Amino acid sequence: MDLYEHMGKDLFRAQGIPTPAGRVCGTPEEAAEAARAFAGSAVVKVQVQVGGRGKGGGVELCRSPEAAAAAAERMLRDGFVGHVVDRVLAEELLPIAQEFYTSIVLDRSTGGYLAMMTAEGGVDIETLARERPETIRRVQIGPLLGLRSYHVRELTGALPVAAREGAADVIRKLFELLWERDATLVEVNPLVLLDDGRVIALDAKVTVDDNALPRHPDLAALAQEFPIDPVEKRAKDAGLQYVKLDGEVGIIGNGAGLVMSTLDVVARAGAKAANFLDIGGGASADTMATSLEVILSDPAVRCVFVNIFGGITRCDVVANGVLEALTRVDATVPLVLRLDGTNAEEGRRIIDEARHPMIVSVPTMDEAAAEAARLSREAA
């Protein structure tokens, strides 16, 4: 779960990492009020779960309360690259001497953690890593021993002497935060040295491990604050993995890999998937009915491709589940059903004998995708 900047900064402050004073604002008036509290100026920052805010117009330097209100109004009205925005963060303007970058991330290639620091702040770190990798200091941190003093010295050696002590304190606390709160990423871009010698975190990017949320109820509760598509919410409440996409062929499948593969096969057949929906191991009538309801609530859907591989769940059981689901849900578009695996022939026989007017049974994944693409073109 990617946290909003202001949530990350709450965690930073709780850990003792210095951040600018700031207020979360849901209206332009609140942003103006915040600027007045910060001696008339403020940095207004859009709160979203994606990066690239600086370049994308998501951060604005405002020299008056009126300017802060105008920036907040624009951000709240226009959103940010397709994301709904319901809050901005207004922060005090600080005299910056120098900008740096630091982060610690779970490194899936080693199974440990990777800490990075560079004196080149405020830049796109991926570009820097590609073009001038020697400017970034990297330290592997083993999970059994954790962050040690020599790691810290190695990292902060990248910075000017005046910033080293402050940065060392920040990196130590960042690692504590990452460890104690089960984060898979903590990133500060930029980390800054102020004119008065303090080192503070101007930004905060924190990603919390979803698998660890059960042991952090306070972090789990933050999930409620992110906007969610009503259809996605309904699927989630039913225990289904659903992601809305922008195509016209609805997809139901079992297993994340197979469903991802189904999106690819549909694209190769010349159509676009309307969603990702993984029903997991079972394919009961209940699951199938809910899945169809979720998918058919998307007006863009012109046909549904049900791609089931029967492993432990037998295809005859799946076939009966689909037929029963269709007695409860009114299929407004055709269903292309592909059953393969254990008892596939029996499953197809059940479907064929039912002669349901909206079901087209196709034995292979490639042919079924072609049929789904054809039907969706026909309905266009």
Partner 1 sequence: MSVLVGADTKLLVQGITGKEGTFHTLRNRAYGTDVVAGVTPGKGGQDVEGIPVFDTVAEAVEATGANTSMIFVGPRFAAEAILEAADGGIGLVACITEGIAARDMAEVHAYLKGTATTLVGPNCPGVISPGLANVGIIPGEVCAPGRVGFVSRSGTLVYQIVYELTSRGIGQSTCIGMGGDPVHGIGFIESLALFEGDPDTDLMIMTGEIGGDDEERAAGYIAERVAKPVVAYIAGFEAPVGKRMGHAGAIVTGSSGTAAAKAEALEAVGVQVARTPSQVARLVADRLAG
- Active-site residues, by number, are 101, 187
Measure the CA dihedral 83/89/90/96, to 10°. -100
* Paired tokens of 51: 């990066």
- Our finding on whether 243 is near partner 1 (CB under 8 A) is yes
Using CB under 8 A as the binding rule, the residues of this chain from 150 to 179 that contact partner 1 are 179
- Cα–Cα distance for residue pair 86/80, rounded to 1 Å: 11
The CA-atom distances, in angstroms, between 372 and each of 120, 280, 332, 362 are: 51, 22, 15, 10
Q: In this structure, are strands 335-341 and 303-310 parallel, antiparallel, or unpaired?
A: parallel
- Cα–Cα distance for residue pair 267/271, rounded to 1 Å: 5
- Cα–Cα distance for residue pair 324/331, rounded to 1 Å: 12
Q: Is 101 exposed, middle or buried (0-12, 13-18, 19+ CB in 10 A)?
A: buried
Using CB under 8 A as the binding rule, the residues of this chain from 37 to 66 that contact partner 1 are 50
In order, the DSSP letters of 252-312 are: EESSHHHHHHHHHHHHHTT--BSEEEE--S---HHHHHHHHHHHHTSTT--EEEEEEEESS
The CB-of-56 to partner 1 minimum distance in angstroms stands at: 14
The CB-of-192 to partner 1 minimum distance in angstroms stands at: 25
Output phi, psi for 40, to 5 deg: 95, -15
The CB-of-124 to partner 1 minimum distance in angstroms stands at: 11
- Our finding on whether 144 is near partner 1 (CB under 8 A) is yes
List 26, 56, 112, 157, residue binding partner 1 (CB under 8 A): 112
Q: By C-beta, is 98 or 189 nearer to partner 1?
A: 189
Using CB under 8 A as the binding rule, the residues of this chain from 351 to 380 that contact partner 1 are 364-366
Q: By C-beta, is 135 or 241 nearer to partner 1?
A: 241
- Our finding on whether 227 is near partner 1 (CB under 8 A) is no
Q: By C-beta, is 156 or 290 nearer to partner 1?
A: 290
List 260, 300, 329, 354, residue binding partner 1 (CB under 8 A): 260
- Our finding on whether 143 is near partner 1 (CB under 8 A) is yes
Task: Please report where in the chains the tokens 């009538």 appear, as a residue.
Answer: 285
- Cα–Cα distance for residue pair 334/371, rounded to 1 Å: 10
- Our finding on whether 131 is near partner 1 (CB under 8 A) is no
Length in residues, the chain: 380
Applying CB under 8 A, the span of 54-62, 108-116, 319-327, 350-358 interacting with partner 1 comes to 108-116
List 4, 12, 101, 113, residue binding partner 1 (CB under 8 A): 113
Q: By C-beta, is 127 or 196 nearer to partner 1?
A: 127
- Cα–Cα distance for residue pair 77/86, rounded to 1 Å: 9
Applying CB under 8 A, the span of 12-20, 158-166, 207-215, 315-323 interacting with partner 1 comes to 207-215
Q: By C-beta, is 118 or 254 nearer to partner 1?
A: 254
The CA-atom distances, in angstroms, between 377 and each of 8, 24, 248, 373 are: 46, 47, 9, 6
Q: 83: which residues sit within 8 A by CB, 6+ positions away?
A: 48, 49, 50, 227
Q: By C-beta, is 39 or 145 nearer to partner 1?
A: 145
Using CB under 8 A as the binding rule, the residues of this chain from 176 to 205 that contact partner 1 are 179, 182, 184
DSSP-derived letter for residue 224 is G
List 39, 55, 77, 108, residue binding partner 1 (CB under 8 A): 108
List 39, 77, 111, 134, residue binding partner 1 (CB under 8 A): 111
List 201, 235, 273, 362, residue binding partner 1 (CB under 8 A): 273
Which of 117, 90, 77, 101 has the alpha carbon at shortest distance from 34?
90
Contact residues toward partner 1 (CB under 8 A) are: 50, 106, 108-109, 111-113, 126, 142-144, 179, 182, 184, 209-212, 214-215, 241, 243, 245, 253-261, 263-268, 272-273, 276, 278, 309, 311-312, 340-342, 364-366
